[in-house]
Chain A
Amino acid sequence: MRHQIRSLLGTMVAPEALVPDGELECWRTGQGQQGLPAAVLAPSTEEELARVLARASEEGWRVLPAGLGRWLEGGGPSDVSVVVSTRRMQEVHEYEPANLTFTAGAGLSFSGLRKTTEPHGQWLPLDPPGGLVGSLGAAVALGIGGPLRHLYGTPRDHVLGLTLVAGDGRILRWGGRVVKNVAGFDVTRLSVGSWGSLGVVTSISARLFPIPEAEVTLIIQGGKVSVLLPLARAMALSSLPLAAVELLDPLELKGSGLAEVGAEPAGPGLVLRLLGSHAQVEEMEARVRSDLSHEVGSLQRLEGETSRAFHETLNGWEEGADLVARLCLLPSELGTLLDEAEEVRDLVSKASSPPGAGMRLSAHVGAGVLRVAVPKLPEGDGGLDPWVSSLRSLRARLEERGGSLTLSSGPSALLREVGAWGAAGEEKALMAGLKAEFDPQGILAPGRLGL
C-alpha cells in the first residue's frame, strides 16, 4: 500500500514535489509504523495539489494538510497516508502598501512576511504559538492567535480571502483583497480555524496594519498568581488600548534575558504590552503606573527592540512541552481556570521531583484562555491512566460551565484516549454536513474536531 501510494504519486507530480524517502522520518504524525506517512507531498501549484487530492478521494487515502511540518502531532490524526506540506508555496503574490493588504502562498512564514512588509512600516499583528518560523497557512487553518489578540483579534479578524483546494480537488477562491466584502456566504471565515478538515489552504489575503511607532512592556511581579489575578483582570478591563495582557506562572522564559533586567523568573508575572505612537505609549504607561502604585511588588520595563524580542520568545512558550492543554471559560472566570489547573499540578507532582516542578501557566487574560504546559509526562504502561481520567473530568466540568478544554499537543496515546477536542455538541450535525460538502470522501484530517 505504502509503495503503491508513492509510485502512483510519482506519476502525478513533479519529482521535486515529493519529499525524498530519507526525509520521511521528519514528517512523523505519531509513533510506530502507523505514524510514518507513506508519502509527503510538497506541491508548488494548486493544480498539482488538486490532481492529487482528486485521486486521493478516489483511492480513500487519508491526507493530512500541513504547513512547514513543525506541529504534525497537534490534534491528530496520527495515522495518515499522505502529508501535504505548503512549504513550496511561499511566494508573495501581491503586496500593495497603499492598500494595506497582501496575498501570499500559505507556506510563507511570519518572518518571510515580515521581510516583505517591514520596510514599508507595516505588519500583520498576529502572534500564534510557534512564532515567526511558523507558516501563515497553519495559523489560518488553526484560527489561533496569541497575546496580541487582546487588541488585534485572531486570524478570523484579519483574513480577507483565501484559496482552498477542497478534499476532492476543487480549487475554490473565497473573499478577496478588499477590506469589506459581503458577496456570498462567508466561506473565508468558515475555512479559518477549520483545521484542514475542509480543504488545503494554499493562498491567503489579509489586511496589514501600520507598525506602531513605540513599544513598551511592563512586567509586574509580587506574590502568588492569585494576588496578581485581580490586577490582571483590572488591566484587561481598563479603557486603555493595551496590546496584550498576559499572566505567566512562572515568568521564566528560555532566552528572554529577563533575569538581566531584574525580573524574578521563578515567580509569576503580569505582562502588559503597550503599542502606539510615542505620545500614546507614554500616556498608557503613566496611567498603568498610577493604577499600580499601591499594589505592586516590583515592576520591570522593556522598551523597543528588547520588548519586541521578549514577545517573540514568548511566542515559543508552548515548545518543548509533552502536553499543552488549553482551558477556556468567560474571562471573569479565570480564577476558576487557575483553580482547575491546580488539579493538573497534583498530577505533575506525583510524576516528578521536585513535586510540581516544571508545570507552566500562561493566560490570555482578556479572552478567558488559560494554557497549561507540562514538560514531561510519565512513560511506560499505566503511567498516563490518571491523566486520562483527570483530563476527561476536567473537560466535563468546563463544558458544564459552557467552556472547553482542548489539547494542543500531547502523546498520541493520550490524545487518542482523551481526544484533542470535546464534543461538538449542537453544532455537530451542521459541521458534518459542511465537511461532506467540501470533502465528500472524508479524506482530510479524519477525526479532527470530532468529525
Chain B
Amino acid sequence: MVSSAGEPQILLHPRSRVVNILPSAVLQELILAVGSEWVISDPDRLLVYEADAQTAQKLAPQAVVLPSDTEEVSRVARVLHRHGVPIVPRGAGTGLSGGALAIEGGVVVGTSRMNRILEVDPENRRAVVQCGVLNTDLSAAAAPFGLHYAPDPSSQTACTIGGNVAENSGGPHCLKYGVTSRYITGLRVVLPDGETVWLGGQAREAPSFDLVGLFVGSEGCFGLATEVEVALVPVPEATRTLLAIFETLGDATRAVTSIISVGLLPAALEIVDQNTIKAVEASIFAAGYPTDAGAALVVEFDGIDAGLELEAEEAARCCEVAGARGVRRAESEEERLALWKGRKKAFGAMGRLAPDLLVQDATVPRSRLTEVLARISEVAERYDIQVANVFHAGDGNLHPNIVFDRRDPDETRRVEDASKEIMRICVDAGGTITGEHGVGADKRKYMPLVFSPQELEVLRGVRGVFDPEGLCNPGKVVPELEGGR
C-alpha cells in the first residue's frame, strides 16, 4: 500500500480493516478503467449504495464503479487488488442479508450495466447472459422458444442473475424445480486479483471439481461472476392452483406434511399466517383472504395437463382432512394470480405494520414444521413481540418476520433475543440458519450454531484459495477469529 507524496494514506483500522478514505490516485485509476461517468464518488450519490434490502445496518462505500463487461471488471479488480482496497460486488441490491454492504469499506462494483443476454440456445436449452440481466428478462428472452429460467425468487422482476448466483436464490417453485445451483452450468469469473477464469461449461460435463457448484452461493467472496451459462426448462403446459383456508397455522402445516407424504410433488406449497393475512388485507395489496383465518395455503401443480386434475383433487382432500375451512380453485389465469397475490405481496404489506422488519430465513425438516412453528409462537408470546410467518412450507423454509420499532431500545433488545432463540430452535430441530437469503453480514454470528470451529476454519481456507488477501466482500459469511482473521 504505497502512496505517492501528498496522497492520503489508505487508513486501515487495526481491527476491522475499514478503509476510511480512498486515495485520489485509486479513483483516477478506476476512472481510467471504466470511464469517469461510471465512477461514483460523490457522497450524496453513494447513499444509494449504503444498504441492500436488509436495512438494519447502513454504510456507504468509498466509491461505486459500474463496469460494462468482463474486461472492465478485470481492470477494476486489478486496480483495487494492487492498492489493497476491498471490492464489494452488487447486483440489484434486493438481497436480504446485507451481502452487498461495504461493511469494511472499499469500492462497490455494481453490475447494472452488464445486462446483455449474450446467447439463447434453444437447441441445447441453455443461455449465456451477463450477470446484471434481470431474472424475469432472461425468462422473457427464452419464452419465444417455449422455455424459461426456473428459479423464481419473489424479487424476480428486480433481482439479477448474478445476484441469484451469489446467493443461490430460491423461490416458491423451487419445491419441484430446485434452487439456482441446479440451473447454473458455467461461469466466467473475475477473481479478486483480476484474473479471469471460465468454470464448468455444459459442453464439457467437466470431470473436475464442481467449481461452479462451489461458486454458486459464495456471496461475492470468491470473485465476481460476469457471465453466466444457465440451463433452461420448458414452460409448463398447464397449472392447477388451490387456496386452502385454515383455522390454525398447525392445521395448514399438517396439510403440507400430508400432501408430501401421500406422494404428491406440487410445484409450490406456500403458507401465510394470520398476522400476514391481516397485514395484506389492510394494505393496497388486499387479496380477499379472510382476516379471521389462522393461515392460508397456496398449492400449485404444473406439467402436462393429463393427471394434474387428479393431483389437485387429492391435495384438496389432504387439506380438508387436515381441517381446511374451505378450498378455492383458480379457474383462470386471472384467478390464479389473485390466489397468489396474498402470498406474493406479503413482504410489501408488512411494511405497514411497523417501521422495522427483521426477516428470518431458517429451514427445518418438513416433518417438523408444525412443532417448530408452535415453538416460535411461544417465543413471540414470551418476548411480547409480533411475528408474521410467510414461508415456503414445502421446502421447510420459514420466514418468521418480526415487526418492530428500532427507536424503542427495549423492544429492539427483545427482538434480538427472540431472534436468537428462534434460530436455535430451528437448528435444534435439524434445520439450518438460512435457506435462501444468504449469511451475508447479518447471520455471520449464527454460523457457529451449524459449523464447528474446524469447519469454519476450512471455510476460511476455501475462501483463501479464491481470495488469499481477503479483499473480496470482506466481513461476510464466515465469522472472523478472535482478534482478526
| Chain B neighbourhood of A329, CB < 8 A | 203
Whether A426 lies near B438 (C-beta < 8 A) is no
**1/0 contact string of B212-240 vs chain A (CB within 8 Å):** 01101110010000000000001101000
Minimal Cβ-Cβ distance residue in B for A176: B432
Whether A279 lies near B365 (C-beta < 8 A) is no
A55 contacts B by Cβ under 8 Å: no
A209-B265 contact in complex given A180-B179, A190-B209, A329-B203, C-beta closer than 8 Å: yes
CA A278 to CA B170, docked complex, whole Å: 31
Question: Which residues 167-186 of A have a CB within 8 angstroms of B?
Answer: 170, 172-174, 176-186
B337 contacts A by Cβ under 8 Å: no
Whether A176 lies near B168 (C-beta < 8 A) is no
CB distance from B149 to the nearest CB of A (A): 16
B277 contacts A by Cβ under 8 Å: no
| Chain A neighbourhood of B396, CB < 8 A | 99, 178-180
Whether A280 lies near B304 (C-beta < 8 A) is yes
A437 contacts B by Cβ under 8 Å: yes
Whether A190 lies near B198 (C-beta < 8 A) is no
CA A46 to CA B198, docked complex, whole Å: 36
A261 contacts B by Cβ under 8 Å: no
Minimal Cβ-Cβ distance residue in B for A233: B123
A85 contacts B by Cβ under 8 Å: no
CA A157 to CA B123, docked complex, whole Å: 23
| Chain A neighbourhood of B204, CB < 8 A | 328, 402-404
Number of interface residues of A (CB under 8 A): 79
A97 contacts B by Cβ under 8 Å: yes
| Chain B neighbourhood of A427, CB < 8 A | 197, 199, 206, 208-209, 211
| Chain B neighbourhood of A330, CB < 8 A | 121, 123-124, 126, 202-203
| Chain B neighbourhood of A404, CB < 8 A | 203-207
| Chain A neighbourhood of B431, CB < 8 A | 176, 178
| Chain A neighbourhood of B121, CB < 8 A | 330, 332
CB distance from A388 to the nearest CB of B (A): 19
CB distance from B131 to the nearest CB of A (A): 18
| Chain B neighbourhood of A421, CB < 8 A | 207-208
A109 contacts B by Cβ under 8 Å: no
CA A333 to CA B463, docked complex, whole Å: 36
| Chain A neighbourhood of B260, CB < 8 A | 98, 100
| Chain B neighbourhood of A176, CB < 8 A | 430-432, 450
A76 contacts B by Cβ under 8 Å: no
A26 contacts B by Cβ under 8 Å: no
Whether B477 lies near A277 (C-beta < 8 A) is no
Whether A178 lies near B234 (C-beta < 8 A) is no
**1/0 contact string of A394-434 vs chain B (CB within 8 Å):** 00000001111010000000000000111010110011011
CA A368 to CA B179, docked complex, whole Å: 23
Whether A183 lies near B459 (C-beta < 8 A) is no
Whether B197 lies near A101 (C-beta < 8 A) is no
Choose, from A28-36, A224-232, A234-242, A292-300, the stretch at the interface.
A234-242
CA A369 to CA B205, docked complex, whole Å: 8
CA A173 to CA B257, docked complex, whole Å: 27
B4 contacts A by Cβ under 8 Å: no
Minimal Cβ-Cβ distance residue in A for B221: A185
A276 contacts B by Cβ under 8 Å: yes
Whether A437 lies near B363 (C-beta < 8 A) is no
| Chain A neighbourhood of B447, CB < 8 A | 183-184
CB distance from B238 to the nearest CB of A (A): 11
Whether A278 lies near B307 (C-beta < 8 A) is yes
Whether B181 lies near A284 (C-beta < 8 A) is no
CA A184 to CA B168, docked complex, whole Å: 11
Minimal Cβ-Cβ distance residue in A for B178: A157
| Chain A neighbourhood of B263, CB < 8 A | 121-122, 210-211
CA A108 to CA B331, docked complex, whole Å: 47
Whether A187 lies near B459 (C-beta < 8 A) is yes
| Chain B neighbourhood of A98, CB < 8 A | 257, 260-261, 366-367
Whether A180 lies near B367 (C-beta < 8 A) is no
B111 contacts A by Cβ under 8 Å: no
B306 contacts A by Cβ under 8 Å: yes
| Chain A neighbourhood of B462, CB < 8 A | 185, 187, 190, 434, 437
CB distance from B380 to the nearest CB of A (A): 22
**1/0 contact string of B406-420 vs chain A (CB within 8 Å):** 000000000000000
| Chain A neighbourhood of B304, CB < 8 A | 239-241, 280, 283-284
| Chain B neighbourhood of A426, CB < 8 A | 197-199
* Most-contacted residue by chain A among B201, B207, B235, B432 (CB, 10 A): B207
| Chain A neighbourhood of B459, CB < 8 A | 184-185, 187
| Chain A neighbourhood of B181, CB < 8 A | 156, 186, 189
Besides the known contacts A122-B263, A241-B303, 20 further A-B residue pairs in the complex with CB atoms under 8 A apart: A153-B182, A170-B454, A170-B458, A176-B432, A181-B435, A182-B438, A184-B450, A184-B455, A184-B477, A186-B168, A189-B181, A189-B213, A194-B210, A210-B263, A277-B310, A283-B307, A284-B304, A422-B207, A426-B198, A427-B206
A contact set with B: CB distance below 8 Å:
96-101, 121-122, 143, 153, 156-157, 166, 170, 172-174, 176-187, 189-190, 192-194, 198, 209-211, 237, 239-241, 276-280, 282-284, 326, 328-333, 367-369, 401-404, 406, 420-422, 424, 426-427, 430-431, 433-434, 437-438, 449-450
